[in-house]
Amino acid sequence: MADAPRNIPVPDQLAGIREQIRALETNERELKEALIANPDIRMGANWLAEVKEIETNRVDLKELRAMHKDLVEEYTFPTKATRVELSAIDADTGEIVSARKMRNAK
């Protein structure tokens, strides 16, 4: 914490960081919504955004707790989620590479 601003109490710093995180999360949500709504903007100079819809199963734990454990299957239901995955674009070759590979290369 050597780089922390002087004379600002730690709780105030934390509150400021949390405010910044909320603002960044709002910005991220808006960008994701734009990417989902408009396929034409998914190609960037360095990144490609792919929109993928996945289906997962969720368990209603509140109901499960009220019932018997062996009834888990009855209260498991599928849900769909949409996520935005970023892939990097190699500056030299123009090839699409994984975000993890690009981050590790830096």
Q: Residue 19 is part of which domain span?
A: 8-41
| 51 domain-assigned | yes
Task: Indicate if 59 and 105 belong to the same structural domain.
Answer: yes
Task: Indicate if 62 and 72 belong to the same structural domain.
Answer: yes
Distance, CA of 71 to CA of 75 (rounded, Å) = 7
- Which residue did the predictor score with more confidence, 82 or 69? 82
The Cα angle at residue 89 between residues 32 and 25, in degrees rounded to 5: 25
Alpha helices in 1-106, H assignment, sequence order:
10-37, 61-66, 99-105
Task: Indicate if 48 and 90 belong to the same structural domain.
Answer: yes
pLDDT tens digits for range 75-97 = 788 999 998 888 888 888 988 88
Task: Indicate if 61 and 102 belong to the same structural domain.
Answer: yes
Distance, CA of 16 to CA of 44 (rounded, Å) = 31
